[in-house]
A and B are shown apart, each in its own frame.
Chain A
Amino acid sequence: MRRVVITGQGTINALGHDAKTTLDAMSNGVCGIGELEFQNVDRLNVKIGGQIKDYKADDFFNRQEIGLYDPFTQFALISAKEAISQSGLEFTEELATHTGVILGTAGGGLTTQDENYRTVYEDGKNRVHPFVVPRLMNNAAASHVSMIYGLNGPTFTVASACASSNHAMGQAYHMIRSGMSDVMITGGSESMLCFGGIKAWEGLRVMSKDGCRPFCATRNGMVQGEGAAVFVFEEYEHAKARGATILAELIGFAMTSDAADIVMPSQKGAASAIRRALRDANVSPENVGYVNAHGTATTANDKTECAAIREALGAAADDVMISSTKAMHGHLIGGTGGVELLATIAAVNDGMIAPTINHNKIDPECDLDVVPNTARQEKVDVAISNAFAFGGLNAVLAVRKV
């Protein structure tokens, strides 16, 4: 099987408008969560989120483009541009034939739907903008990336709620590994911070009104974020031949389904995904130095995830560092695995272990080294990134420094 390496990364999220700013913020334990600002926010019970501030679409796109791009597409395009530029790839006709785009999203153009439902239902108008459908469709972001760079390879969108990005990147990994593609543009994007997006989540009663505190005994729910992270995955020999800077190698991926409950997580399903990812990567639990946790800060996820990590890693769990960066950037739902892979790569590439901020009281049910509050500098051989979605869908990626 062919080896797969990461040669570019890009992002825009509450912590920064590019990868460097985001990683600097993570290493400084910056919290990007604050008061939400959008129409009708006063009617919400949950008024906080990891919203991208100081963002003007006009700075990146012209009026015609904005007419076609929902924010989730805008975020994906900004991230893809940074990643592709960093990779230094030039898409010749030959390479473009063997390059595809697989992006994750859960809500797709939810903001577009929200705005247009308001137009027809609340404002009583009988006409909507002609591009509502191409803006809201879940594959819009992947298609626009493909169009802008002229990429003709396998391109589609994966939707598996909070595991969308990891599932998407897992597919991209498999395509290069198997020989179907030489390069894949992959990651995820989400823009759910609008009235309808948050109102729906409020209904489930799992959101925190005062902050995201993963693994902390005082945690009381998740906080949403928004944004995207996109990567360039490339076949190892291809990257080596052109002298590309390799950020990390993707060495394993696994996915499982709990087949149990539509919202409650399962220790068995999560542990099995972690175990299989390590087996796929051909590494033992002792090799794993860092786990970027799903860590949503709900009562159920965090204790179940800690138990699953213990089950999968055995005695090695006592020595592994785990952290949830969601406390800083919020839960990007379908885009979250992308932003979290940035932290996972930084662990093996630079030894920067992003902290779990807002941690002020140990929870005996989360008895692992959760890297509370302050980032660390440690050499890490292998790191994994967990994503466990509603619907019981688990997807785990494993990376190593080349």
Chain B
Amino acid sequence: MSVEDKIIAIVAEQAFLEPSDVTSSSTLEELGVDSMALVECIFAIEEEFDIQVPFNANDPKASSFDISSIQSITQAVEGLITAQKA
């Protein structure tokens, strides 16, 4: 599974959707991921890829970790994998 496929699986589970309902351009907002589910997604991503995600629920937008869409999350995760596994 690619990084994106894994992220889609994680987000789909939190949003109570089938992975097939989630695409690269899906935004968390349109998938109905609320703040609690978002924190669970971040946790699942950290566990799945064994990385640390910089994320503060007080200000999700302030973080360098862009959570606006599946695509942006995938790019951010790939960046963190490269940086933290190097």
Contact = CB atoms under 8 A, between A and B. Distances in A.
Interface of A: 45, 203-206, 208, 219-221, 263-264, 298-300
Interface in B50-85: 52, 55-59, 62
A263 B36 contact: yes
A299 B55 CA distance: 14
A64 to B, nearest CB: 43
B35 interface: yes
A220 B42 contact: no
Contacts of B39: 203-205
Contact of A206 (B43, B52, B57): B57
B43 A203 contact: yes
Interface in B15-39: 35-36, 39
Nearest to A209: B56
Nearest to A205: B57
Q: Is the interface of A mostly helix, strand, loop or mixed?
A: loop
B48 to A, nearest CB: 16
Across the A-B interface, give the 7 residue pairs with the lowest CB-CB distance, nearest first: A205-B57, A299-B58, A221-B58, A220-B58, A206-B57, A205-B39, A298-B58
Contacts of B36: 263
A219 B62 CA distance: 12
B62 A220 contact: yes
A300 B56 CA distance: 12
A205 B59 contact: no
Nearest to B60: A205
A220 B58 CA distance: 6
Interface residues of B, number: 12
A220 B55 contact: no
A164 B57 CA distance: 24
Contacts of B58: 206, 208, 219-221, 298-300
Given A205-B42, A205-B55, A208-B58, 14 more contacts: A203-B39, A203-B43, A204-B39, A204-B57, A205-B39, A205-B56, A206-B56, A220-B56, A220-B58, A220-B62, A221-B56, A221-B57, A263-B36, A299-B58
Contacts of B42: 205
Contacts of A298: 58
A300 B55 CA distance: 16
A206 B55 CA distance: 9
Nearest to A297: B58
A304 B25 CA distance: 33
A373 to B, nearest CB: 21
A121 to B, nearest CB: 19
Nearest to A301: B58
B51 to A, nearest CB: 13
21 contacts: A45-B52, A203-B39, A203-B43, A204-B57, A205-B42, A205-B55, A205-B56, A205-B57, A206-B56, A206-B57, A206-B58, A208-B56, A220-B62, A221-B56, A221-B57, A221-B58, A264-B35, A298-B58, A299-B58, A299-B59, A300-B58
Contacts of B57: 204-206, 221
Nearest to B54: A45
A369 to B, nearest CB: 23
Contacts of A205: 39, 42, 55-57
A176 B58 CA distance: 41
B59 A220 contact: yes
A264 B59 CA distance: 14
Contacts of A299: 58-59
A299 B43 CA distance: 21
Nearest to A263: B36
Nearest to B43: A203
A236 B31 CA distance: 59
Contacts of A264: 35
Contacts of B43: 203
Listed residue (A203, A205, A208, A220) with the most chain B CB atoms within 10 angstroms of its CB: A205
